[in-house]
Amino acid sequence: MKKTILSLLVLSLWSCQNKTQEPSETRIYPLIKDLYSADPSAHVFDGKLYLYPSHDLDAGVPEDDLGSHFDMSDYHVYQISESLEATDLGEILNVNQIPWAEKQLWAPDAATKNGTYYFYFPAKDSTGIFRIGVATASTPQGPFIAEPSPIEGAVSIDPCVFVDSDGTAYMYFGGIWGGQLQRWESGSYVSEDIYPSENQAAIMPKMAKMTEDMLAFEEAPKNVLLLDQEGNPLTAGDNERRFFEAAWVHKVNDTYYFSYSTGDTHNIAYATGTSPMGPFTYQGVILKPVLGWTNHHSIVEFNGQWYLFFHDSELSGGKTHLRNVKVTPLEHLSDGSIQTIDALVTVSQTE
């Protein structure tokens, strides 16, 4: 096993006595340095913190707006210690082990229920269509065995599986542009990209309640409704706030937080609601833009502290498709809002 040490944030301007919504300025160093990693999915299983990122490779694929250069082919899992050191537990799934998948293993997620561990992942099938599959294991570190077919109705990218306190599980998914969500708005796949006009409601992420065995949907997927403060759906032209990709759900007390990437405006934003099925009302920005085009995150509580995992492109000097995972504490304020983070990228320290 390879061990990499997080040279954790050393300059934090948070104040526990005087919390505001002003962005906190924090120097945050890469967590994983032995390979390029992105899209970190963090979970606490059996009291231990595990991280399931995607694995960036320089496959020599030309860059385009559809993300063809993100040509990843396997997944690793890391265990994160109490001192925030990352230990690589090895490869847990390869595209060659997925009967229906051809390429592009993008952002994954993981969950557990009734002693089984589930690993959810998107990939393109032989026709070039993104679908979402699931693999299972008896331990958090796998290896995971993929189901022979993708989950029926689970399309596009970026699965997030949230298990509520009552044991009910939900999957949230979707991403526009290269994630193909816009091609499913009619209910079936179309080969051309169709987007609403700027003043129309934006394309919304999808969600569905999962079956007890966590391998399928109990219902047809439906829209996750994202609203502004006046109760109107966020519009397609509202690029600073509308959904692009990277859904994540966490819960604090009775409030559900739906967070996501705004894509071309590079924010990690969030909305809140009183039900895991929404609707969710936009509240603000969790993480301001970082170095690189994409961002993708997860939020987890570990040993009484909330953390935000995310990625940027510091280690590669800003190369869009060669990214690195980072982590920083996350603060929920007394009014239920989340402290905005400005993760400053300064001189790289990789030793």
Question: Does residue 350 form part of some domain?
Answer: no
Residues sharing a CB contact under 8 Å with residue 72, sequence separation 6 or more, in sequence order:
54, 55, 56, 57, 104, 105, 106
Residue 251 resides in a domain: yes
Active site residue 39: yes
- pTM for the structure as a whole: 0.92
- Per DSSP, 181 falls in state G
Q: What is the pLDDT of residues 120-131, one digit of tens each?
A: 999 999 999 999
Distances (CA, A) of 18 to 12, 308, 334: 14, 21, 11
How many structural domains is the chain composed of?
Answer: 1
User: If we measure between CA atoms, which residue out of 129, 152, 261, 258 comes closest to residue 208?
Assistant: 152
Q: Is residue 298 part of a domain?
A: yes
Strand duo 116-124 + 245-252: pairing: unpaired
Residue 202 · residue 240 · CB < 8 Å: no
Predicted local confidence at residue 7, as pLDDT? 36
Query: Of the residues 88, 238, 245, 312, which is catalytic?
Result: 245
What pLDDT, on the 0 to 100 scale, is given for residue 350?
36
pLDDT digits over 185-217, tens only? 999 999 999 999 999 999 999 999 999 999 999
pLDDT digits (tens, 9 = 90+) for 286-332: 999 999 999 999 999 999 999 999 999 999 999 999 999 999 999 99
Tell me, what's the pLDDT at 278? 98
Domain of 8, CATH number, reads 2.115.10.20
3-class DSSP assignment, residue 157: coil
Domain extent for 62: 2-344
Per-residue pLDDT tens digits for 36-70: 999 999 999 999 999 999 999 999 999 898 899 99
Residue 151 near residue 101, CB atoms below 8 Å: no
111 located within any domain: yes
Could you give the dihedral angle defined by the CA atoms of residues 50, 339, 199 and 184, in that order, rounded to the nearest 10 degrees?
10
Annotated catalytic residue, options 39, 71, 238, 314:
39
The reply to whether 349 falls in a domain is no
245 as an active site residue: the answer is yes
